[in-house]
Chain A
Amino acid sequence: MSRTVLVADDSPSVRRMIVLTLRGAGYAAIEAENGQEALDVATTHSVDAVITDQNMPRLDGLGFARAFRARPEGRGVPIVFLSTESDPALREQARAAGAIGWMVKPFDQAKLLDVMRRVVG
């Protein structure tokens, strides 16, 4: 049974790269353009993990994480941030919002897959 990963990023090219990497490794991937769309998808589909950007229109990554964690569907689903930001204060906020990990862009395919293996198996 393939695992489903939700990818939220406002950059289509970044999204494309992540999704291709994941699909190449046998994951199913769903895309979202911003935090609000991500929240809609995450609460209506069954997802095994979320990879999200921080800076996005309508709802940013932190906002998404807080909202998703507050929903019953959001319990126990790992959220990994993938962002150009590397501010420790932001990372801490992400953790407090319920994210399990933070990766800094640009991402490396092998690294992303390694992380996914450790997060969703």
Chain B
Amino acid sequence: MMDAETLAVFRAEAEGLVESLESNLLALKDAPRDRALIDGAFRDLHTLKGTGAMFGRADIASFLHDFETAFDRVRDGSVEVTPDLLSVALAARDHVVALLSAEPAEGADRAGAAILSRLAALMGTPAAPGAAPDAGPWHATFRLPADTAALGGRPELVLEELRRLGARTIRARTGDVPPLDRLDPVCLYLGWEAEIDATATEDDIRGAFLFHEDGLQLSLTPPAAPDATAPPPRGPEPPQHRAPALMRVPAERLDEMMDRVGELVIAEARLNELAARFGDPGLVAVAEDIQRLATAMRDNTMSIRMTPIGAITGRFRRLVHDLSRELGKPLALEVTGEETELDKTVIERLADPLMHLIRNAADHGLEPPAARAAAGKPEEGRITLSARYSGAEVLVALSDDGGGLDRDRIRARAVERGLLAEDADPPDDALWKLIFEPGFSTAPAVTELSGRGVGMDVVRRTIEDLRGTIDVASAPGGGTTVTLRLPLTLAIIDGLLIDVAGERLVIPLAAVDEIVELPDSLADDDSGNAFLDIRSSLVPFLRLRRLLDSEGQPGAHQKVVVVTSGEGRVGLVVDRIIGSNQTVIKQLSPLHSGIKTFSGATILGDGAVALILDVPQLVARGRSDTDCQGEAAA
């Protein structure tokens, strides 16, 4: 077998010859006696045949043999160039292209034989028996009587009989199958076409339809007379380039496209609502089609917008290089997971916060070389940026191997700024979060680069705007890691639509772990937070009714939707699960920026607005020991 490279060389050459042949043939149309053109066409055929044989393509060589002979006769003047000859030669050219393609179209042999017999007819010679790949099959098109199934007839047995007779291909024609609502289940709507080996006789084939003769529609084309007038099936054009074609598109167009898809998804939800209300099967079928298409389009558009995080890491290398010189510290940046993809908008807005975090790490996090040496660390400070997927989120972590956050200093600063009571002793992660408060800086001296207290709060705000969260981990002397947890996309998510006291709310489906029934024993418990025993693990749960200050009493069978964020799980008690919903996220207005429970809103199929629950916030709330009812639904 030829290797791919040799094959490519052959293809390229053959494609060139085919092109030259085509232009010679087309030119011959206007100048049938042009010597140069005739010689050219002959040469193309001859070389094509020879190359084919050399590269093991005996099919091409044997197919072209008769054409070479024909044009040889044109050359010596014994045959005239006629429009018929040119048209059959052009058909031959197309056939060679089909043979050259990686997957020749079905029925290529038959098409080749048909072309050769056309040529033979023109030249007044019978087609050389060796030239045709084989005699070609019977072509049968048939429909069994519509009442076949009602009479207990089994079409598959007819097909089996045809296969026994040597049917190579049998294809069903489904064009007459009506829509589901008009389909009579015992009526046979299918037709078939089959190609059957020439070894079968007409009686054999007709005999296969035993007992189906009444009402049978059968058209049978014998193998010896291929349809000379029908154009041969055109094979796919040979691919010109192997590399995937890339296009540059202005980013705004992608944003616009996403907006349109968002509107489409909302309109589709309305259509579905209407279809369900009217119950017309035709309308439901269309609504289902549109839903399918809209979902595919949504996924497609989102995938177009996905950009690897590597797109912005280049500038960080440069930044670290510059910082190293400015600060006089040897620094190294290591990036992993550059191929991790995020929505274009997320990537763009992530650049500044990451730059800020890198600056902070370089300036405050990493000790001067002397201090590092004293601590037994390599002089070169190491900053690591890593990105990886975690469910429907991406985790971007920035670590340094510096001295870690200074607990005492942060605590002192927090007390000084009134963020912490004098005697408070919060756990580490709560304390670390304070560094994101506005104006919070513990840097003893303001440097050129950082320490002015602007920045970290901006980092947090940006990440929260992106519906992400920030975690900080730090160990004295062991460095600091800031983990940004970001949603894969901002625009449209799959949501779980729930009902709380008649209010519809959306929970991002990606955050949903499972849904369980609220045990009766807990149904009337008024204590606010409680724990649920789910397969021997205790999960705290929040009553959304309480959180939303709902009036009235819940019905029986309340459900608990267990959601996850990061490491934490919390159950949300809801009245009812409505179902899944494609949620087009609309930002809440700046007036509502203080609201913690919701991360956005969406428009439902009936035009109503539903709020989207902010899962990370709820999980944090569920896990905190303090009862946070006071803050309920602003």
Contact = CB atoms under 8 A, between A and B. Distances in A.
Q: Do A and B bind each other?
A: yes
Interface in B172-207: 186
A100 B151 contact: yes
Given A118-B158, A119-B157, A121-B157, A76 B210 contact: no
B150 A78 contact: no
Contacts of A118: 157-158, 161, 210-211
Contacts of B349: none
B214 interface: yes
B336 to A, nearest CB: 60
A28 to B, nearest CB: 17
B260 interface: no
B152 interface: yes
Nearest to A121: B157
Contacts of A99: 151
B149 interface: yes
B214 A95 contact: yes
Given A118-B158, A118-B161, A121-B157, A78 B151 contact: yes
Nearest to A114: B210
A115 interface: yes
Nearest to B209: A118
Interface residues of A, number: 18
Contacts of B210: 101, 115, 118
Given A95-B214, A118-B211, A119-B211, A78 B152 contact: yes
B18 to A, nearest CB: 48
Interface in B27-79: none
B528 interface: no
A49 interface: yes
Contacts of B214: 95
A101 B211 contact: yes
Nearest to A100: B151
Interface size bracket, B side: 10 to 19
B168 interface: no
B605 to A, nearest CB: 42
A121 B154 CA distance: 9
A79 interface: yes
A121 B153 CA distance: 11
A98 B150 contact: yes
Interface centre among B151, B152, B211 (most CB of A within 10 A): B152
Q: Is the interface of A mostly helix, strand, loop or mixed?
A: mixed
A119 B151 contact: no
A117 to B, nearest CB: 8
Interface string A7-37: 0000000000000000000000000000000
A76 B152 contact: yes
Contacts of A77: 152
Nearest to B152: A78
A51 to B, nearest CB: 12
Contacts of A78: 151-154
Contacts of A98: 150-151
Contacts of A80: 211
A76 B161 contact: no
Interface string B131-172: 000000000000000000111111001101100000000000
Interface in B198-229: 210-211, 214
A100 B157 contact: no
Nearest to A92: B214
Interface in A68-121: 75-80, 95, 98-101, 115, 117-121
A111 B255 CA distance: 72
A79 B152 contact: yes
A79 B153 CA distance: 9
Contact of B152 (A49, A95, A115, A117): A49
Contacts of A79: 151-152
B161 A100 contact: no
Given A118-B210, A118-B211, A100 B158 contact: no
Interface string A45-59: 000010000000000
A62 to B, nearest CB: 14
A110 to B, nearest CB: 13
Nearest to B158: A118
A121 B158 CA distance: 10
Contacts of B158: 118
Contacts of B157: 117-119, 121
A42 B157 CA distance: 23
A77 B151 CA distance: 7
A99 B210 CA distance: 13
A121 B210 CA distance: 13
Nearest to A80: B211
Nearest to B148: A100
A13 B214 CA distance: 32
Nearest to B208: A118
A74 B623 CA distance: 66
Contacts of A76: 149-150, 152, 186
Nearest first, the 3 A-B pairs at minimum CB distance are A78-B152, A101-B211, A100-B151
Interface of A: 49, 75-80, 95, 98-101, 115, 117-121
Given A49-B152, A76-B152, 5 more contacts: A78-B152, A78-B153, A79-B152, A100-B152, A101-B211
22 contacts: A49-B152, A75-B150, A75-B186, A78-B151, A78-B152, A78-B153, A79-B151, A79-B152, A80-B211, A95-B214, A98-B150, A98-B151, A99-B151, A100-B153, A100-B211, A117-B157, A118-B158, A118-B210, A119-B157, A120-B154, A121-B154, A121-B157
